[in-house]
Amino acid sequence: MSVSHSADKLPTELIDSFGRRVDYIRLSVTDRCDFRCVYCMTEDMTFLPRDQVLSLEEIYLVAQAFTELGVNKIRLTGGEPLVRNNVMSLIDRLGKLEGLKELLLTTNGAQLDKFAKPLHAAGVNRINISIDSLDAERFQRISRVGKLEKVLAGIDAARAQGFDRLRLNAVIMKGYNDDEVLVLTEYALEKEVDISFIEEMPLGNASDHDRESTVCSNDWVRGVLEEHYELIASAETTAGPSRYYQVAGKRSRIGFISPVSHNFCADCNRVRVTVEGRLLLCLGNEHSVDLRAILREQKGDLDALKRAIVASMDLKPERHFFYDKEHVQPVRLMNMTGG
């Protein structure tokens, strides 16, 4: 599709009304998934009708608009990005986008044995792979349908490709997998990949449990690890709710993504675009802009899209308030949000 540019001066950086620079976007390429993780989805999900979902071309235009506005890091997510039909044709194009320094992917790993090689060839720099248990039965209980051995094979396939970094993501929940903090960490150390522990966020209603009774603070997880390892705080930050530690004598880093117990919103550098083309300014709030309407009503006008993105910066909230009864909690489930 050809795109037009008007003479209006557009900025080369996105700065919000709190002075934060947005240089990172998370793009959801589908709301669908081959798993049904208990913290992310309900058991019987209804997914979006096709006409409400952005086409691969529309997703590419969104990415292009953001990179022309100074975004240099894109993470592809979902739902499960690798279940989207023909997703490699999009990733191949994104890998060639001018101005993009990092192209990242978050996946459940179930199809990585097949995709690791083309993803690496397309220029994907880093991959996050979610894995919440190393016990096959329990893995299936948490993912409701996933097969652990497929994910383990996917991790090995990705390791064989030489990505800049691989990271495991584990959501630790009381009563589900809180006794696996050490086992998961030992596995990451052995495979020389990073691991991050994520606090369960109250995004939509979980149908199998009451989130407030399962949410596990990362301070507790870190305490468990500190009884066994010397954790050395890393100066590196990703301008988000993550903090990293090096394990003395090991290559792997351990991260704690603590959006619930710690508020790092002051450094926030990111926004999300759902697969419906809704630009979400904050994970924990509903402020959003409908980019799909602009894409479809003003077809081919990349500057209209860029102007809407620039204007959206005024809507980015200062912070979120998870599990705070004084504040409205998001009704979106994580697969709709784009993790």
Least Å distance between CB 79 and ligand SAM? Answer: 6
Assess 33 for contact with ligand SF4 (CB under 6 A): yes
Only one of the segments 13-21, 105-113, 237-245, 298-306 lies at the binding site for ligand SAM (rule: CB under 6 A); that segment is 105-113
Only one of the segments 100-108, 179-187, 292-300, 302-310 lies at the binding site for ligand SAM (rule: CB under 6 A); that segment is 100-108
- Judged by CB under 6 A, the residue of 22, 79, 185, 272 near ligand SF4 is 79
Least Å distance between CB 182 and ligand SAM? Answer: 19
Assess 77 for contact with ligand SAM (CB under 6 A): yes
Assess 198 for contact with ligand SAM (CB under 6 A): yes
Strand order in 278-280's β-sheet?
231-233, 242-247, 253-257, 194-198, 165-171, 126-130, 102-107, 73-77, 24-28, 270-273, 278-280, 288-290
Assess 36 for contact with ligand SF4 (CB under 6 A): yes
What are the angstrom distances between the C-alpha of 291 and each of 15, 136, 288?
Answer: 18, 41, 9
Least Å distance between CB 335 and ligand SF4? Answer: 5
Least Å distance between CB 9 and ligand SAM? Answer: 37
Cβ atoms of 25 and 71 closer than 8 Å: yes
Closest to ligand SAM by CB, 154 vs 308, is: 154
- Judged by CB under 6 A, the residue of 130, 133, 177, 274 near ligand SAM is 130
Rounded to whole angstroms, how far apart are CA atoms 232 and 56?
A: 42
Only one of the segments 7-15, 78-86, 116-124, 172-180 lies at the binding site for ligand SF4 (rule: CB under 6 A); that segment is 78-86
Residue 304 contacts which entry, ligand SAM, ligand SF4, none (Cβ below 5-8 A, type-dependent)? none
Least Å distance between CB 143 and ligand SF4? Answer: 6
Rounded to whole angstroms, how far apart are CA atoms 267 and 102?
A: 19
Closest to ligand SF4 by CB, 64 vs 128, is: 128
What is the total count of residues that contact ligand SAM (CB under 6 A)? Answer: 19
Residue 64 contacts which entry, ligand SAM, ligand SF4, none (Cβ below 5-8 A, type-dependent)? none
Assess 40 for contact with ligand SF4 (CB under 6 A): yes
Residues that bind ligand SF4 (CB under 6 A): 33, 35-37, 40-41, 78-80, 108, 130, 334-335
